[in-house]
Every structure is written in structure tokens, then in C-alpha cells.
A and B are shown apart, each in its own frame.
Chain A
Amino acid sequence: DAGVTQSPTHLIKTRGQQVTLRCSPKSGHDTVSWYQQALGQGPQFIFQYYEEEERQRGNFPDRFSGHQFPNYSSELNVNALLLGDSALYLCASSHFKRQGRHQPQHFGDGTRLSIL
């Protein structure tokens, strides 16, 4: 049973560049959420995708965008990178139609993004 997989593991970019991060959800899951975790902080919710649409969004600028594909995998795109975008980006999956008390999210290993 494959868990949540993310790629790449590490990435180094420079200010102003654009980056795309990828996530495949756990088998049987159809909802993908993205989080940003800065050093010493808890994960911050970016957005959630279900049925190829953005369903919920946290307090992040439009530079952060995403996409979900028919196979439930997802991409996170960040444009015009800033130094402050350096963080661990976590993807989590769950099953939308079984939301509620028994649907905790399962996290991938994350992509560590460094901006120079």
C-alpha cells in the first residue's frame, strides 16, 4: 500500500524563479492538501484539492497555485520565488467522501525548498 509520495526531495532555486512540486496521494485517497513548514514552525495550510478543483485555501498569495489531475495526483506551483519561501513543503492526502472524525490526513516526506 503506497503512502503519499512527493518529488523532488530537495530543490534549490534563486529569487524570482518558478518551481513546481509534485505529490501522489496514498492509495484510495482522493483529496490532496499542501502545507508550508518554515523552520521552527508548525505546518501552514496552503490549499486543498478535490475533484480537480481548489476547495479550500489558506492565507497564501496568488503566487501559490496548484492543480489536481484525474489520477488524484497534484502539483504545487510557486512563482516569483522569495527568500521567505524557503521551507519544507508537505503534501497530505485523505478521502473526501469520508470526511469527519475518522479521516486524519496522511503526510508525505516533503520537499525541502531552498531559495538563494
Chain B
Amino acid sequence: RKEVEQDPGPFNVPEGATVAFNCTYSNSASQSFFWYRQDCRKEPKLLMSVYSSGNEDGRFTAQLNRASQYISLLIRDSKLSDSATYLCATLYNQAGTALIFGKGTTLSVSS
């Protein structure tokens, strides 16, 4: 059964800190991975897609380790506005675009 598991939260960090989340997946055939950000009572919004070894976008870096079947999200120089829940996802199966999500990790950045 496909499963996606994430680090338990919450993560409480000060502004400027570097924080990393891990996400493990059970289906070794998974090819595509996504990090979504979800603010309280809002819809998930795509933060980053990960298809090969990794991806970087400004302060955010995602890395994929196929051998150990995990992906990570690194946030550098945390801002107050980074406070949210971060959801890891992979494709439900390779035939479509539906997603299977982890439970999410909550990040709280304080001043």
C-alpha cells in the first residue's frame, strides 16, 4: 500500500533559522514528488516539484534520495510568513495526476 509519512510536528523555530523536514515514501516506483504549503483553513498551494535529485527555489531546497526513499525540504533564513503546514505528496499512481499526501508538518516561526 502506498504511504507517505512525514516528520511529526510542530517545528517551532526563530526567525532566521534553518529548518528541514523529511518525508518517506513506501512505493519505490514513485517518480514525482511535491511539496505543498497549506495555511490554516486554506487550500494547499504548490511550493515545489521534485523529479530528479532535487530542486532549489530561493530559500527553499528539496532533495530526493531514491535509495532511502525519502525527500526533504530545507528552508533557510526562516521568515514569520513561512509559518504553515507543509505537505509532502507523490502521485497516487503513474497513470494519472491524483496525489497521495502525508499528514503534514506544522512550522511555526517566531520573532
What residues make up the interface of A, taking CB atoms closer than 8 Å to B? Answer: 31, 33, 35, 40-45, 48, 55-56, 58, 88, 90, 92, 94, 96, 99-110, 112
Contacts and interface: CB of A to CB of B under 8 A. Distances in A.
Contacts of A44: 101
How large, as a class, is the contact surface on chain B? 20 to 34
Given A42-B102, A42-B103, A48-B97, 6 more contacts: A42-B104, A44-B101, A94-B97, A105-B99, A107-B43, A109-B43
Contact of B46 (A55, A104, A110): A104
Contacts of A58: 92, 98
17 contacts: A35-B101, A41-B103, A42-B87, A42-B89, A45-B100, A56-B95, A56-B96, A58-B92, A58-B98, A88-B41, A90-B43, A101-B32, A103-B97, A105-B98, A105-B99, A107-B43, A110-B43
A104 B49 contact: yes
Interface in B22-68: 31-32, 34, 41-46, 49, 51
A72 to B, nearest CB: 14
B110 interface: no
B101 A42 contact: yes
A45 B44 contact: no
Interface of B: 4, 31-32, 34, 41-46, 49, 51, 87, 89, 92-93, 95-104
Contacts of A112: 41
A43 B87 CA distance: 9
Nearest to A33: B98
Contacts of B97: 31, 33, 48, 94, 96, 99, 103-105
Contacts of B99: 33, 35, 43, 45, 92, 105
Nearest to A103: B97
Given A40-B103, A42-B87, A90 B44 contact: yes
